[in-house]
Chain A
Amino acid sequence: MTGPGTTGPEKTGPVLSVRGLVKRFGDVTAVDGVGFDLLPGASLGLVGESGSGKTTTARIVAGLERATAGTVELAGAPAGGRSRRDRLRRARHLQMIFQDPYGSFDPRRTVAQSIAEPIALHAPGPAAARHARVRELLDQVGLSARAGDSLPRDLSGGQRQRAAIARALGVAPRVLILDEAVAALDVSVQAQILTLLDALRRDTGIAYLFVGHDLAVVRHITDEVLVMRRGRVVERGGTERVLREPRHPYTRLLLDSVPVPGWDLERVARDRRALDGLPDDPDVPDSPSPDGDPTC
């Protein structure tokens, strides 16, 4: 484990380390003792349904929400700070991509201008070098120079998501948070983005924290997975193991809920009843691993 005293990014230790994360909104506990490690170049999935706390967890890690309790360490140093310096450091190591890239682009600026912005902020230098870097990034995500000169509204959903990825890669971050990043795309386009994400991880050694509800996509893109329910991690492990031999009844319910020819809806109903019999009030521990235990 990497302590706060370590200087510089630890190459072998986790690039992201989360411990005992808690988030309360008034009386509601949205995240309740979540902890995990993300190694360089690894891909970790956070799966669950609405209200499971997966997105809140990701937003805290990205610095978009403040945790009620718990710690987040990024590249060997605490990452919870709110100062400009802290935010810049966080943005240099960690970028986030959302379901709808439309909302994260300035509608009046060209895509290339938007991609150049974080580069100018984090690695100021001559404009010519920046333009060259933007061209390189566009090429890396499979966008033409012409697409770069377009406004966001003139691009398709898949092209916009490519642009969002290019912008995130501009500062060479070590962690990319993908929050339902392919959920809104048509299947044939989704496959293109998944293939792109595979290649980027292979080529750059970037690590992914992938938040999603689609188990098939999570299986494709992650090595390890945390299954979340009502703010808690109910199961964790290698993605293949969890999907092939789920241990928690909730994971089983999620799997049986995936449609398949000869779909057994009776079984889904049975799974659900089995789960209803289980205690899920917060004073009974239902997580197979203790709170904040870093088994990933």
Chain B
Amino acid sequence: MTALAIEGLGLTVGAGAVPLLDGVGVRVGAGETVGLVGESGSGKSLTARSALGMLPRGARATGRVTVAGTDVLAAGRRELRELRRTRVSMVFQDPRAAVNPVRRVGDYLTEGLRARGVPARAATERALDLLAQVGLRDPRGALRRYPHEFSGGMLQRVVIAGALATEPALLLADEPTTALDVTTQAEVVGLLKELQKAHGTGMLFVTHDLDLAAAICDRVYVMYAGRIVEEAPGAALFGAPAHPYTRALLEASPSVRGERAAVKAVRGRPRSLAEAPGGCAFRDRCPLAGDDCARAVPGTRRHGASLAACLRAGEEPR
């Protein structure tokens, strides 16, 4: 069973049809952890949100987005609401923006269940169970407390509990640990993986952190300027990056392990699809680029364990 299938997704916005995404394909199987990695403007969050039917105002979408059997782009409001209520959940970077600050944590956790018609007492029991699962020491006390009484890490656990309350088929995690301290990040990631395994939930993990994606994901998609440029198993991404952009990202990141190596800066800055040059969007920053890269957007080809959209996948810089 596929939790999420995005096929050939294109997005444009406004009267000028400003392009945001182009030909994006992402698949998340049941119980699978899939990473979506990229820098600012790459379109990774837009892609993740499309799974909930959350498109920018005035956006026109082409392609297909299917979540647990529902065609999201064709779905009406009622169907979308049902989808968001029962099949897909989302965890964002800032838990404080996700919960209502003037309502108790207990209300936050039970409202989704109550809306599905679960009786109050049963909903509370379920909330207690969830809070215990995400490792809160005093679940009963936590139900009566307000969001400001929790640290960022603890509140993110509450949000995760809420996201899993309906046992969704798909969990969208958009930079869920970016605002947390490193040691808290490790805990929250451990928790997400554990719960995901227990419930067989598919997870799309959106992050700018290549190390994190490679460490926890079964497969990783790398995005640049609104397109997928590489798809690889998490570990292979590190060992043998096929796309020059992936390689550039790795060489630009300092590492805490192994020999101390110089970081290699990439010239220019990340671009959005609208600003990018024609043909391969990375060619103005790419050390391997030639005239042929300008002709068309390169198709996907296999290189080692990767699928890469590059004419020179796997080549060494001259």
Please report A residues at the B interface, Cβ cutoff 8 Å: 49-50, 156, 158, 186-192, 194-195, 213, 215-217, 219-220, 240, 243, 253-263, 265, 268-269, 272
Contact = CB atoms under 8 A, between A and B. Distances in A.
15 contacts: A49-B183, A186-B270, A187-B252, A188-B39, A188-B269, A189-B269, A213-B181, A254-B182, A257-B185, A257-B186, A258-B182, A259-B216, A260-B214, A265-B186, A268-B187
B162 interface: no
B62 interface: no
Contact of A219 (B39, B214, B254): B254
Given A213-B182, A269-B190, 7 more contacts: A188-B249, A188-B270, A192-B266, A219-B256, A259-B185, A259-B212, A261-B238
Counting chain B CB atoms within 10 Å of each CB, which of A49, A219, A240, A259 scores highest?
A: A259
What are the nearest 4 A-B pairs in CB distance? A259-B215, A191-B252, A49-B181, A220-B254
Interface string B255-270: 1110010011111011
A194 B254 contact: yes
A263 B216 contact: yes
A216 B269 CA distance: 21
B187 A188 contact: no
A219 B257 CA distance: 10
A189 B285 CA distance: 12
A257 B187 CA distance: 9
B216 A192 contact: no
Contacts, number: 112
B254 A254 contact: no
Nearest to A213: B182
B234 interface: yes
Contacts of A259: 185-186, 189, 209, 211-212, 214-216
A260 B186 contact: no
Interface of B: 39-40, 181-187, 189-190, 193, 208-212, 214-216, 234-235, 238, 248-249, 251-257, 260, 263-267, 269-270, 285
Contacts of B214: 259-261
A252 to B, nearest CB: 11
Contacts of A186: 39-40, 208, 269-270
B43 to A, nearest CB: 14
B249 A187 contact: yes
A253 to B, nearest CB: 6
Nearest to A186: B39
A273 B219 CA distance: 31
B137 to A, nearest CB: 13
A240 B260 contact: yes
A195 B263 contact: yes
Counting chain A CB atoms within 10 Å of each CB, which of B186, B249, B253 scores highest?
A: B186
A186 B265 CA distance: 11
Counting chain B CB atoms within 10 Å of each CB, which of A50, A187, A217, A265 scores highest?
A: A187
Contacts of B183: 49, 253-254, 257, 268, 272
A255 B185 contact: no
A46 B214 CA distance: 28
A272 B182 CA distance: 12
A191 B187 contact: no
B225 to A, nearest CB: 13
A216 B256 contact: yes
A23 B155 CA distance: 28
A163 to B, nearest CB: 14
Contacts of B234: 261
B186 A195 contact: no
Contact of A261 (B39, B215, B260): B215
A240 to B, nearest CB: 7
Given A191-B253, A215-B256, A260 B266 contact: no
A266 to B, nearest CB: 8
A253 B181 CA distance: 12
Contacts of B216: 259, 263
Contact of B211 (A217, A258, A269): A258
A188 B265 contact: yes
A204 to B, nearest CB: 20
